[in-house]
Structure 1
Amino acid sequence: MFDDRSPIYQQIAERIKNDILSGELAEDAQVMSTNQYAAFYRINPATAAKGFHQLIEEGVLYKRRGIGMFVSQGAAKALRGQRRQRFFEEVVDAMIAEARIIGISLDEVVQRIQDQKGKE
């Protein structure tokens, strides 16, 4: 369910983002209300609301007064772009830096990736 690595409201936001990226939540799809989310996961409604508010501020969700919250148009594309950027910064750039430190050439790294591609 939830872990101790980050605040619950951030984990809620990440879970909803993952549902959008996986296609489980489509653009303009209605998401559970904060109270439904809180009841389902047995958490404080204020915690759920904080996670939803973060998503609204990021433009991932939008609110229709009196109806509920929905996935924003273009949310999946924007999230995918953010994740790609984060992947390159946190994984690829870190891998290249470590390879340089331990004397692995970029050609060797590329070859290893290509070898893995052949195993698909």
Structure 2
Amino acid sequence: MKSSLDENKPIFLQIKEQIEDSIINETIKTAERIPSTNEFAAYYKINPATAAKGINELVMENILIKQRGVGMFVTDNAKEILINKRKKIFYKNYMDPLKKEATKLGISNMDLIEMVKMEGIEDEN
């Protein structure tokens, strides 16, 4: 778990994103139990209901499943769902504006592709 929370973002979203990141980078694996709302609450000194809000959103998105009396566990397809969701967000936040700016500057799609390829080559050197 992160050692501190960002004051500029809702805590429940930070809890949710932290769990998502842990699933994507496989710190928490499929079928593994996540920390409980009380564990999050104790660690961050927050209200358990705040932690529960972030966790419950992940349940609604089929990322987590509740096993009564045992805890919350990562679903079999959680990582795939999260990666697809993040790809859509990436496209919206980065690719759409990139394409719009390229169009304004008269950069063709092929030129844009070449620019991206060249950037990868420069990073390798």
Same fold (TM over 0.5): yes
Correspondence for 2:40 = 37
Instruction: Give the distance between the partners of 1:114 and 1:102, measured in 2 at CA.
Output: 19
Instruction: Give the distance between the partners of 2:5 and 2:35, measured in 1 at CA.
Output: 18
2:100 corresponds, among 92, 97, 104, to 97
Query: What number of residue pairs does the alignment pair up?
Result: 120
2:21 corresponds, among 11, 18, 30, to 18
Which stretch shows the higher mean deviation, 85-94 or 40-49? 85-94
Instruction: Give the distance between the partners of 1:19 and 1:2, measured in 2 at CA.
Output: 16
Instruction: Give the distance between the partners of 1:114 and 1:52, measured in 2 at CA.
Output: 39
Unaligned runs of 5+ in 1: none
Q: Deviations over 1:75-109 (max 9, x none)?
A: 00111111112212221121001111233332332
- RMSD of equivalent CA atoms: 1.3
Instruction: Give the distance between the partners of 1:101 and 1:5, measured in 2 at CA.
Output: 33
Correspondence for 1:61 = 64
TM-score, with normalisation over the residues of structure 2? Answer: 0.88
TM-score, with normalisation over the residues of structure 1? Answer: 0.92
Q: CA deviation at 1:7?
A: 1.2
